[in-house]
Amino acid sequence: MSQSLRMAAAAAALVCSSFAGAGTLTIESWRVDDKGLWEDVLLPAFYKANPGITVKFAPTAPPEYNSALNARLTAGTAGDLVTCRPFDVSLDLFKKGHLDKLNGNPALKNFPESAQVAWQTDDGKDTYCVPMASVIHGFFYNKKVFAELGLAVPVTEADFFAAMDKIKAQGKVAPIAMGTADQWETHQIVYTGIGPNYWKGEEGRKALIAGKKKFTDPEFVKTWDVMAKWAAYLPKGYQAQTYGDSQNLFGTGRAAIYPTGSWDISYFEGNSKVEFGAFKPPVAKAGDPCYISDHTDIAMGINSKSKNKADAQVFLNWLASKEFADLYTNKVTGFFSLSKHAIDVKNPVAKEMIGWRNQCKSTIRLNAQIMSRGTPSMENEFWNVNSQVMNGKMAPKDAAAQIQTGFAKWYTPAK
């Protein structure tokens, strides 16, 4: 072989090696529990529609995901597709140039604007991840306990506390399976779950960001007032009760209701024999419009350094399809597609909860966007003050003042 031919062959080999990833995609994710689902259900469906492309689902444990993903993206070793957490975590990746801009991407046409906000810049001009699913907040209730006491599902705040009084008076089970040891539930489940009915969902949330409302305003203080009343219905020793303890209490039939989100449906169906239903957060008074926390939770974007962006786009297109929406919603029970596609939800509790979208206005967790960026961390502050309120150690008005003061320290519109 002549030298020129040898050089041409070497060049061709180099080109081929640089495209060794073509036809193969790797997905970065924190959803370790979904590995079997992807490998046994989702990816086979994708392969059927898109022969010639192979996909590896390579999850990292949730606590390590953010740091490990950042390290791989910086080193250029991350997968082609990045599962995106909502708001600031993924926004930071986009600002660092790790995620491709998806403006005008055909995959996005199947999602309402509201579903895209969690993966857009603050001004809404750039979108960098395709929405996948949300979780919906509410309450699970023990159907047997409610039937024995002749209780109807509570619709109003008064209904709720009347039911709690009746359950407490019977004395057989705890009215509410809830503890404050882990703290996070007091905020992410309770405050942001029941609060939208008082601050009118997006209206109140956006007013805080705009500086037109303060946490010391009545609608926000009212939520803490209601939380404080819960203490009388919590299990003995609830201050030392963890999230897992609460799951066990409800799952073994020793509590009547369990404040939670749709993500817990699969846990109880797999670990409990209790027949349970769901009800949405009660409104303040009869006739009030209802609001639900329908929190945008998971999306997917393209690694800006991927060597196989064409196939990555094919995958995003499939992610936006009705087939994926149906499979994901029905197989990852309690995680609901954010797409415009009409989905026939099979699980009865999940079907009940997703139906609330047609009855109520949706919002997201109160401080998920913008409000937790500064110091002190509003998220951490909420965990602290909310658990103190439920433990009877802090008055609702003092909780409101502490959150507002911390917010105003770094956020100019809140001053």
Output the domain CATH number for residue 63: 3.40.190.10
Query: Under 8 Å CB-to-CB from 63, ≥6 apart: which residues?
Result: none
In the DSSP assignment, the letter for residue 374 is S
Decide which of 308, 337, 355 is a domain's last residue.
Answer: 355
Are 171 and 64 within one domain? no
The pair of three-digit structure tokens given for residue 281, joined into one six-digit string: 């957060």
Are 344 and 378 within one domain? no
* Residue-level pLDDT, tens digit, the chain, 415 residues: 444 433 333 333 333 333 334 579 999 999 998 999 999 999 999 999 999 999 999 999 999 999 999 999 999 999 999 999 999 999 999 999 999 999 999 999 999 999 999 999 999 999 999 999 999 999 999 999 999 999 999 999 999 999 999 999 999 999 999 999 999 999 999 999 999 999 999 999 999 999 999 999 999 999 999 999 999 999 999 999 999 999 999 999 999 999 999 999 999 999 999 999 999 999 999 999 999 999 999 999 999 999 999 999 999 999 999 999 999 999 999 999 999 999 999 999 999 999 999 999 999 999 999 999 999 999 999 999 999 999 999 999 999 999 999 999 999 999 9
Q: Which residues constitute the domain of residue 315?
A: 19-133+297-355
Are 39 and 101 within one domain? yes
Are 124 and 158 within one domain? no
Are 80 and 107 within one domain? yes
Q: Return the pLDDT at 23.
A: 73
Are 70 and 153 within one domain? no
Check if the beta carbon of residue 369 is closer than 8 Å to that of residue 124.
no
Are 195 and 120 within one domain? no
* Nearest alpha carbon to residue 278 among 262, 297, 296: 262
Single-letter amino acid, residue 364: I
Q: Is residue 9 part of a domain?
A: no
Q: Is residue 360 part of a domain?
A: no
Are 252 and 323 within one domain? no
Whole-number Å distance between alpha carbons of 47 and 260:
36
Are 238 and 114 within one domain? no
Q: Is residue 268 part of a domain?
A: yes
Q: Is residue 3 part of a domain?
A: no
The pair of three-digit structure tokens given for residue 164, joined into one six-digit string: 């709690």
The pair of three-digit structure tokens given for residue 246, joined into one six-digit string: 């609460």
Phi, psi of 339 (to 5 degrees): -75, 170
Total of domains in the chain: 2
Are 274 and 384 within one domain? yes
Output the CA angle 78-107-321, nearest 5 degrees: 100
Decide which of 355, 375, 391 is a domain's last residue.
Answer: 355
Radius of gyration of the chain (CA): 24
* Nearest alpha carbon to residue 111 among 137, 86, 94, 133: 133
The pair of three-digit structure tokens given for residue 70, joined into one six-digit string: 């950042």
* Nearest alpha carbon to residue 284 among 348, 196, 153, 405: 196
Single-letter amino acid, residue 14: L
Q: Return the pLDDT at 22.
A: 52
- What kind and span of H or E run contains 164? helix 157-170
Please report, for residues 15, 32, 171, 238, 299, the alpha-carbon distance to residue 337 in angstroms, rounded to integers and kept in the order given.
Answer: 40, 19, 40, 35, 10
Q: Is residue 1 part of a domain?
A: no
The pair of three-digit structure tokens given for residue 287, joined into one six-digit string: 């006739």
Helix %, strand %, coil % of the chain (to 5): 50, 15, 35
Q: Is residue 278 part of a domain?
A: yes
Decide which of 336, 355, 374 is a domain's last residue.
Answer: 355
Dmax over Cα atoms in the chain, in whole Å? 95
Extract long-range pairs of 321-330: CB within 8 Å, 24+ residues apart: 321/110, 323/45, 323/49, 324/42, 324/45, 324/46, 327/41, 327/42, 327/45, 328/42, 328/132, 328/133, 329/133, 329/354
Check if the beta carbon of residue 267 is closer than 8 Å to that of residue 332.
no
Query: Under 8 Å CB-to-CB from 252, ≥6 apart: which residues?
Result: 272, 274
Whole-number Å distance between alpha carbons of 88 and 100:
16
Whole-number Å distance between alpha carbons of 90 and 294:
19
Output the CA angle 109-114-115, nearest 5 degrees: 65
What's this model's pTM, rounded to 2 decimal places?
0.90
Check if the beta carbon of residue 81 is closer than 8 Å to that of residue 300.
yes
The pair of three-digit structure tokens given for residue 132, joined into one six-digit string: 């996948």
Q: Return the pLDDT at 391.
A: 99
The helix/strand/coil state of 301 is strand
Are 117 and 206 within one domain? no
In the DSSP assignment, the letter for residue 288 is P
| Cα four-point dihedral sign 300, 304, 306, 307 | positive
Are 202 and 278 within one domain? yes
Phi, psi of 146 (to 5 degrees): -65, -40
